[in-house]
Structure 1
C-alpha cells in the first residue's frame, strides 16, 4: 500500500528520504565522507534482513516468535584488554562494556517479567486474574524481548571482533531504525497507564493477586516491584543515547565508526522524541480519565470522556489569595486543566486514604482530585500589566511595574525614604561646621544605596510578575443578579511556563470562534454550495492512503476567498463557484 500526503495551505514539501535526512544530520557534525555513510547504512547484519529497494514498500509489521538459545548464542563478553591501547581506545572499551552490561541487565528484567509474572498468571486459575487482563497488562512485552534478544546476538558478534574493527554505530542503526521498533514501543507506552490501572484495580479487588505480587517482590534479590520492572522499557532509549554520546565524544573524527555513531544518535534521538510524544498523549488521556472520575456531575463526566473535550495543557500551579490590606492570606498548590473549551482548577490529594499502603508500595497510585471551580474558557481573561490599576506604579526609571502587594509596599517605603534622604542631603549642604559623619559625601552615599535598593526591588517585582498568572473568571452573581468577576492569581514554575499558559489560553479561545469551526465543504454534483466568508485558522497535513495502483489521481475541492495558487498542485476550475480550486495529486 502506498501513502500520499495532501498538504492543505501549508505548502511544505520535502524531497529528502529518511535516510538522506539522517545522512545530512550526520554530516553536520563530522568531517567523514558520504561514502562511509552509505557503507554504514547498507552494511548487512546477520540476523536482520534490510528492506530491499525493489520491494513493495512494506515495512515489517510484527515479530516472529523466535526462541534464542543461550548455548548457541552466548551473551556478549569482552576479551581481556590488549596492551598498547591509546587512552581513547581504553575509554571506548569501557563504554562498550557499559553497553553490554546495561543491555544484559535490561534483558534479564524483561525475562523476569515474562517468566516470573506473566507465565504464572496465565497458568493460574481464573480466580487469580482473568487471562484477557493478563494479556492487557503485559501487552507487547514479548515483542520487545524478541527485539533486544536479536540485538544481543548481533552485539555479541560485534564485541568479539571489537579489537579489530572497533565499530558499534551501524549496529544500532540496523537494529532500531525499523518501523516495527517504534510501533512496538509506542503500543507498550500507550498501554502503560492502562496496565498500571488494571494492576491497581486487581490489587484492590483480588487479595490473591496482591499476595502474589508481594511474594514475588520479597523473593527477588533486588526487591524491585513489578512497576519498577515494567517502567524500564520507557527508560531504555534515553540510556542508549547517553552511552552513545559518551562513545561519540571519545571517537576521533577520522575513525570509521564516527559517522555511524552520529547516524545512530540521530535515529535514537528521533525515536525517543516520538516515544516521548506518545507518552505525553497517553498521560494526558490518563489525566482526563482521573479528572472525569473526580467530577460529581454525571453529564460533565460523560462530556469529559467523549471526543468533544480535549486536554490542551495541565500543570501544578501555586494559587495565592490576598486580603483586603494586600496581605497574603494563603498559598496552596492547585492543578489547573486547560481543555479546549473549559478551564478547571482542582485540589490535589497526593495520598488518597482509600488506597491501602501495601498497594501504593507496589503500584504508584495517582492523585485524587477535588474540583474547586470550573468555568467556560470564553469567560476567562488574562489580566496583564496595564489592564487594571490595582498595583500599577510609575517607578523612578519611568517604567510601569506590576507586582505582589507586599513587594509593591516595600518599594513605596524605599521611595519615601529616598525622598527624605534627598531633603536631608540638601539641608546638610547648608551646614557651616565640619562634622565627621554628617557631611555631603555621607548623605550622597545614603542616596546611592537607596537608589540601588530601589532598582533591586523593581527587578524583584518584575521577576515575580514574569511568573504570575492573573485570571479574571466569572463568580457567583450578586444579590441583584448581576454577574461578578473574581481575580485568581497563580505562580507558575518559571517565566516560560507563564508564557506558555497565556499563549495556549489565547489560541484555545481563538479556536472556539465560529469562523474557526472545523469542517469540510464538498462541491455537489450540480456545482452549487455555500461559500464561506472566512478562512480556517488551522491547517494540517491530510494523509491519503491508496491501493497499490501504479497511477493514481486524487481530486478535492478547496475553498479560499483569496486569490492564491497552491504551488502548482492546484488547477483552477471554471465549473466551481468563485474561490474554489481543484487539487490534483499524482502518485
Structure 2
C-alpha cells in the first residue's frame, strides 16, 4: 500500500508536472517540481527494491525451517535507505511552501483539483506519507522481534538495526515537530487579507496568537486586535468576528480583556492542510506587520507615577511598547504576567521558533486553547 501511494504521487503528479515544466510557459518550473517532491522518487525506488527483496525472501523461506529464515540483511539495508528520508524531511517545509506558492496560480489549482479527484486523495496528504513511515518501521521491527527467541540468528542483527532506526527516527521527529509549526504559517497566510507577498518562507515559524490592545497613535483610543506572533514578525490584525469592544479609556469602561490569555497550542497534525482547504476565505484583516529584527519590547514599571498609565493599569490595561528602527508601537495586555510573556517572546528575535515556544511554556501556566477567538468575541464586543 505504501509503495503504491508513492507510485501514485509520481505518476499522477510529479511526472506530469515535470513534463509541463519542460515545455515551459510559466505554469510550473523545474525548481517548483524539485521543491515540492524532493527525494520522493528515490524513496520510491528504494522501497520498490525493499519490497521485492522481502517478497522473494518470504517465498524462499516457505520451504525452510523458521529458525533458518533470515531477514536481517534486508532490514539492515533500510538504515542506508533512510538517508534519502533525511533529505526529504529536511526539504519538507520548503515542499509545503512551494506547494502553497504554486496554488496561487489558477492553472496549477485546476491541475491539482483534477489529479486529486482521480487519486481520491489530496497531494498534501500523499506528501506526508514518507514523514509518517519511519516511526512505522521502528514499530514493525519491534513487534517482529517480540516473536524471535534470543537464540535466533536474526536476533542480534535486527536489534542493531532497531537501535539505528530509533536514533534516526528521533532526529527526524524533531524535524517533523518543526514542520508542524510551519504548517500554522500556511494557515495564517491563507487567513490574511490583504495577503502578504512571500509571507510563507521556509525559515518562518508560527509561535502564538492571542488578543491584544493596540493604540495606533499617541492619543488614539485603544482598539481590540488579534496578535499573531512568528519567529521574525508580529502581525496586528482585526479579528474575523465582531469582537466585543475593547474598553475605551475615554469612556471609563472597567471591562478587561478575555480572562483566557490564549496561545495556540503547537502540535504536529497528522496531515497538512490541502491546498483546496487552504484557499478558503481570508478572515483576518491585516493592519500592521512589525519586523522583529533590531526591535526591542519594553514597558514602564508598575509603580510608574504617570497618571495616564496609572489609570490604564487600574482599568486592566497593561501597556508595553515595541521600538523598531523606524517606528514605535504601543500594545496592551490584560495582566502584568501576560505583558511580560509578550515582552520576553518579542525580545527573543533571531532565535528559532522552538526556542520561542519553549520560553513561552516556561513563563506561563495558562493552558493553550484554540477557543481563544470565541472567548475574545464574547468579551470584546463591537469596535
**In which range does the TM-score fall when normalised by the shorter chain?**
0.5 to 0.7
> Which residue of 320, 325, 339 maps to 1:474?
320
Distance between the aligned counterparts of 2:143 and 2:116, measured in 1? 34
Distance between the aligned counterparts of 2:151 and 2:282, measured in 1? 51
> Which residue of 2, 9, 13 maps to 1:117?
13
Distance between the aligned counterparts of 1:363 and 1:134, measured in 2? 21
**1:305–1:292 distance in 2 versus 1, CA, 3 Å:** farther
Which residue pairs with 2:82 in the alignment?
181
Which residue pairs with 1:360 in the alignment?
276
The answer (yes or no) to whether the contact 1:140–1:188 under 8 Å persists in 2 is yes
Residue by residue, what CA displacement relative to the aligned partner does 1:495-543 show, whole Å, maximum 9, x if unpaired? xx9994358779xxxxxxxxxxxxxxxxxxxxxxxxxxxxxxxxxxxxx
Q: CA deviation at 1:159?
A: 1.7
**1:360–1:379 distance in 2 versus 1, CA, 3 Å:** same
2:160 aligned with 1:263: yes
Residue by residue, what CA displacement relative to the aligned partner does 1:341-366 show, whole Å, maximum 9, x if unpaired? x8x47669899xxxxx9952488999
Q: Structure 2: give runs of 5+ residues left out of the alignment.
A: 214-223, 242-272, 304-316, 324-329, 342-354, 365-383
> Which residue of 13, 18, 24 maps to 1:126?
24
- Map 1:438-517 onto structure 2 (within 5 A): 474-475=320-321, 487=335, 500-501=358-359
Distance between the aligned counterparts of 1:271 and 1:350, measured in 2? 42
**1:166–1:206 distance in 2 versus 1, CA, 3 Å:** same
**1:243–1:476 distance in 2 versus 1, CA, 3 Å:** closer
**1:200–1:281 distance in 2 versus 1, CA, 3 Å:** closer
SS in 2 for 1:204: coil
Residue by residue, what CA displacement relative to the aligned partner does 1:271-321 show, whole Å, maximum 9, x if unpaired? 12222233445566777899899799x9xx99x989xxx87x854466699
**1:219–1:287 distance in 2 versus 1, CA, 3 Å:** closer
Distance between the aligned counterparts of 1:275 and 1:499, measured in 2? 19
Q: CA deviation at 1:237?
A: 0.7
More off after superposition, 360-369 vs 256-265: 360-369
Distance between the aligned counterparts of 1:484 and 1:156, measured in 2? 64
Which residue pairs with 2:121 in the alignment?
224
Q: Which has the higher helix share?
A: 2
Residue by residue, what CA displacement relative to the aligned partner does 1:446-480 show, whole Å, maximum 9, x if unpaired? xxxxxxxxxxxxxxxxxxxxxxxxx9762599xxx
**1:211–1:139 distance in 2 versus 1, CA, 3 Å:** same
Residue by residue, what CA displacement relative to the aligned partner does 1:528-580 show, whole Å, maximum 9, x if unpaired? xxxxxxxxxxxxxxxxxxxxxxxxxxxxxxxxxxxxxxxxxxxxxxxxxxxxx
TM-score when scaled to structure 1?
A: 0.37
Q: CA deviation at 1:123?
A: 2.7
2:74 aligned with 1:171: yes
Q: Structure 1: give runs of 5+ residues left out of the alignment.
A: 1-104, 322-330, 352-356, 388-470, 478-482, 507-587
- Map 1:305-320 onto structure 2 (within 5 A): 315-316=207-208
Distance between the aligned counterparts of 1:366 and 1:192, measured in 2? 25
Which residue pairs with 1:379 in the alignment?
298
Which residue pairs with 1:573 in the alignment?
none
**1:248–1:233 distance in 2 versus 1, CA, 3 Å:** same
The answer (yes or no) to whether the contact 1:203–1:210 under 8 Å persists in 2 is yes
**1:190–1:266 distance in 2 versus 1, CA, 3 Å:** same
- Map 1:536-547 onto structure 2 (within 5 A): none
**1:336–1:194 distance in 2 versus 1, CA, 3 Å:** same
Which residue pairs with 2:219 in the alignment?
none
2:60 aligned with 1:214: no
SS in 2 for 1:177: helix
2:139 aligned with 1:242: yes
The answer (yes or no) to whether the contact 2:181–2:207 under 8 Å persists in 1 is no
Residue by residue, what CA displacement relative to the aligned partner does 1:35-79 show, whole Å, maximum 9, x if unpaired? xxxxxxxxxxxxxxxxxxxxxxxxxxxxxxxxxxxxxxxxxxxxx
Distance between the aligned counterparts of 1:366 and 1:260, measured in 2? 54
